[in-house]
C-alpha cells in the first residue's frame, strides 16, 4: 500500500479509539505512526537491499511496541498534556494498520523479523487501490467536518474499509477457484492469483508447473470484455483504455506457458551466488532465461512473474524503455569458466 494511504488509514483508525478531547492527538499520532514504517527505505542502499529488507524490521509485530513508544515520545513533545500510554495506543494502532494493510497486498511482509524473514501476503488488494484510498480519505474528511461525531464517523469509515477488504478477499477466493479450474495445476505446486491495477475484479493467475510457469490475465467482473487481438499501449495515454482489452472473462482467458530452462552448470553456478539466493527467496514465481555469449560465457536473467505487465511477456522491453520498464529483474553474467562477471538487480532488460 502506498505511504499516503497508510497515513490516512492510520489516522482514521486511531481516531476511533479517541474521545473528543484527544481527537487531534489521535489523528496526528495515527497518521505519523502509520507512515513511518516505510522509512526503512532510507536505510537500504541498493535494490537488492530493498528486496532483502523492505517490509522487514519496521513492519514487524515484534518491533511494534518499541517503535510505537518512540513515536509516542516524539508526539508528546507537541501534545504535552496527553498521557503517554494514550499516545502509545494511537501509535500502535497506526503501525499495526500499516503492517496489516501491507499484508493484504502481494509484495510480502516480514511479520516476525528478526526471528524470521518469512514473508506473508494475502494477495487481496493491489498496492495502489483508489477505492481503498477513497474510503479512508472520505472518512478522515468527514471526521474533520463533523467533529462532534468524529469518533462515530471514523468508526463507520473503518467498518466500510474492513467490508471492502473482505469483499476483495471473497473475489480473490473466486478468482483462485476459476484459475484452478482453467489451468488445472497438480497437487503441491505453487499457485496464486494476484490483484491487478484499478479493479478488484481483475486478476493475474500464476501456477508453477514442473517445467514451466503458466500465466493468465482475466476479469471475473460483470463487465469483463477482453479483445481477441489486444494491442499493447504505445503511449501513456493509451494505458487505461487498453486495460479492459487484456482482461477477458475466465472462459476466454489465454493461458501462456513459459518454459523453465533445463538444468545446466551455468544455472547451478549462478544460483549458488549469495545475492542470487537472496533474490530467489524474495521472488515467488521466478523465471530464468539463459543466453550464450560470443566469448563462451552465459548471460542469465531472472524475472519475477508477479510483476509481469498485462501487455507483454517476460523480458519484452521496449527499446525506448518508456512503458515497459520492469521492477526486480536479476542479471548474472558468467565467463566460459563459470566465474561471475556481473551480478545485480536491474529495472529493464532488452533482448536485441
Specify whether 229 is located in the same domain as 268.
no
Domain that holds residue 307: 259-346
303 plus 212 within the same structural domain: no
d(CA 253, CA 228): 10
Residue 352 lies in a domain: no
185 and 104 both lie in a single domain = no
Q: Please tell me whether residues 151 and 186 are part of one structural domain.
A: no
Say whether pLDDT at 320 is over 70. Answer: no
235: confidence class by pLDDT, cuts 50, 70, 90: confident
pTM to 2 decimal places:
0.92
Query: Residue 351: inside a domain, yes or no?
Result: no
Per-residue model confidence as pLDDT tens digits over 97-110:
999 999 999 999 99
Same domain (yes/no): 161, 69: yes
**Are residues 326 and 234 part of one domain?**
no
Residues 216, 235, single domain; the answer is yes
Q: For residue 313, is it within any domain? A: yes
In 3-state terms, what secondary structure has residue 291?
Answer: strand
Q: Is there a contact between 327 and 310 (Cβ–Cβ < 8 Å)?
A: no
220 backbone dihedrals φ, ψ, rounded to 5°: -100, 10
Residues 165-183: what's their mean pLDDT? 97
Domain boundary, last residue among 211, 230, 258: 258
Domain boundary among 102, 134, 168: 168
Position 322 pLDDT exceeds 60:
no
- Quote the DSSP letter at residue 328: S
Residue 288 sits in the same domain as residue 244: no
**Is 71 within the bounds of a domain?**
yes
Residue 208's φ and ψ, nearest 5 degrees, are: -95, 100
C-alpha cell at 89: 495506543
Residue 137 inside a domain? The answer is yes
Lowest mean pLDDT among 25-39, 40-54, 311-325: 311-325
Q: CA-based angle 191:197:203, to the nearest 5? A: 30
**Shared domain check, 18 and 148:** yes
Where a domain ends, among 217, 235, 258?
258
| Residue 108 forms part of a structural domain | yes
Residues 29 and 114 in one domain: yes
336 CB-contact burial (10 Å; exposed 0-12 / middle 13-18 / buried 19+): exposed
Place of cell 493468465: 216
| Mean of pLDDT over the chain | 92
13-46: pLDDT as tens digits: 999 988 766 688 899 999 999 999 999 999 998 9
Mean per-residue pLDDT, 216-238: 89
Q: What is the pLDDT of residues 294-308, one digit of tens each?
A: 999 999 999 999 999
End-to-end CA distance of the chain: 35
CA-nearest of 102, 108, 104 to 125 is: 104
Residue 203: inside a domain, yes or no? yes
181 and 302 part of one domain: no
- The answer as to whether 192 is a domain residue is yes
Q: How many domains does the chain have?
A: 3
Which pLDDT belongs to residue 19? 78
Same domain, 7 and 97: yes
pLDDT of residue 313: 84
Amino acid at each position: 500500500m502506498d505511504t499516503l494511504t497508510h497515513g490516512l488509514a492510520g489516522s482514521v483508525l486511531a481516531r476511533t479509539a479517541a474521545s473528543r478531547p484527544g481527537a487531534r492527538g489521535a489523528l496526528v499520532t495515527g497518521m505519523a505512526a502509520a507512515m513511518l514504517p516505510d522509512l526503512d527505505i532510507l536505510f537500504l542502499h541498493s535494490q537488492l537491499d530493498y528486496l532483502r529488507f523492505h517490509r522487514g524490521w519496521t513492519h514487524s509485530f515484534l518491533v511494534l511496541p518499541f517503535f510505537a513508544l518512540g513515536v509516542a515520545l516524539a508526539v508528546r513533545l507537541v501534545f504535552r498534556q496527553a498521557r503517554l500510554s494514550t499516545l502509545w495506543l494511537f501509535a500502535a494502532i497506526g503501525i499495526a494498520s500499516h503492517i496489516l494493510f501491507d499484508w493484504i497486498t502481494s509484495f510480502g511482509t516480514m511479520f516476525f523479523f528478526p526471528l524470521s524473514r518469512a514473508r506473508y501476503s494475502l494477495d487481496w488488494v493491489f498496492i495502489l487501490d483508489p477505492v481503498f484510498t477513497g474510503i479512508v480519505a472520505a472518512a478522515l474528511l468527514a471526521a474533520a467536518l463533523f467533529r462532534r461525531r468524529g469518533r462515530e464517523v471514523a468508526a463507520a469509515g473503518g467498518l466500510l474499509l474492513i467490508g471492502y477488504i473482505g469483499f476483495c478477499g471473497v473475489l480473490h477466493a473466486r478468482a483462485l477457484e476459476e484459475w484452478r479450474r482453467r489451468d488445472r495445476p497438480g497437487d503441491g505446486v505453487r499457485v496464486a492469483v494476484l490483484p491487478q491495477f484499478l479493479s478488484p475484479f481483475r486478476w493475474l493467475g500464476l501456477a508453477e508447473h514442473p517445467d514451466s510457469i503458466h500465466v493468465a490475465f482475466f476479469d471475473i467482473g460483470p463487465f469483463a470484455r477482453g479483445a481477441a487481438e489486444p494491442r499493447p499501449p504505445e503511449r501513456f495515454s493509451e494505458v487505461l483504455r487498453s486495460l479492459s482489452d487484456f482482461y477477458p472473462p475466465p472462459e476466454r482467458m489465454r493461458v501462456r506457458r513459459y518454459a523453465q530452462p533445463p538444468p545446466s552448470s551455468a544455472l547451478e553456478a549462478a544460483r549458488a551466488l549469495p545475492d542470487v539466493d537472496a533474490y530467489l527467496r524474495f521472488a515467488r514465481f521466478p523465471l530464468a532465461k539463459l543466453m550464450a555469449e560470443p566469448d563462451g560465457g552465459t548471460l542469465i536473467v531472472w524475472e519475477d512473474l508477479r510483476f509481469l505487465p498485462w501487455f507483454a511477456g517476460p523480458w519484452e522491453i521496449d527499446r525506448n524503455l518508456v512503458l515497459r520498464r520492469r521492477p526486480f529483474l536479476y542479471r548474472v553474467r558468467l565467463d566460459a569458466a563459470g566465474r561471475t562477471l556481473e551480478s545485480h538487480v536491474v529495472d529493464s532488460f532488452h533482448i536485441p
